[in-house]
Structure 1
Amino acid sequence: MGYEYILRCSDGTLYVGSTIDLDRRLAQHQAGQGSAYTRRRLPVEMLWSEEFARVDEAFAWEKRIQGWSHAKRMAFVEGGIDAVVGWSRRTRAAG
């Protein structure tokens, strides 16, 4: 089992990660023992998480979401995948 998650940092930026133990990983981030990125931006707040059957699926989503803009990540957090359908640069440029 794996988890994908998005944290909001104290400076308003979003951090995207994946793990096999969501509670432990969140505690690590909050204690300043997570990534160097979140360590410099404490405190952090969990905005969204999803459970996956396999950790490699969670990791694939992590890499996908990491490539998204802040606005797209927030739209996803607030409205799910349907909220970001059509957000590709090519689609937005044509519109």
Structure 2
Amino acid sequence: MLETPQGALYTGITTDVARRMAQHESGRGAKALRGRGPLALVHQEPVGSHGDALRLEAEVKRLPAARKRSWFQGRQGLEETSCIPS
């Protein structure tokens, strides 16, 4: 999960976080992040399978920003999970 300087949160999946961050920062990533300034990686975690990652991403994207923040703050330090937020 990335955060813009304006406080917007962006959720996505990747197998290589460093590569994807470089793409976003160079303007070759998601259109929603282009021109939004320096990005901060606020949360990342490994998830079992690609399908699990897609399901988790979809659930997180449906949450309002405040719930997203409390969700990822509560998950800091988790090693591996495939839980979907409730």
- TM-score, length-scaled by structure 2: 0.80
Which is greater in Rg? 1
The unaligned stretches of length 5 or more in structure 1 are 1-5, 86-95
Percent of residue pairs identical: 29
Q: CA RMSD for the aligned pairs?
A: 1.4
Equivalent pairs, count: 77
Which one has a larger percent strand, Structure 1 or Structure 2? 1
Which letter does structure 2 place at the counterpart of 1:77?
F
Structure 2 equivalent of residue 49 of structure 1: 44
For 2:53, what is the secondary structure of its paired residue?
A: helix
Give the alignment of 1:67-86 within 5 angstroms. Answer: 67-80=62-75
Find runs of 4+ consecutive structure 1 residues off by over 4 angstroms: none
Deviations 1:4-43 (A, max 9, x none): xx10012110000011222111111111111001113121
Structure 2 equivalent of residue 28 of structure 1: 23
- TM-score, length-scaled by structure 1: 0.73
Deviations 1:22-74 (A, max 9, x none): 21111111111110011131211100001123222111111110000000011
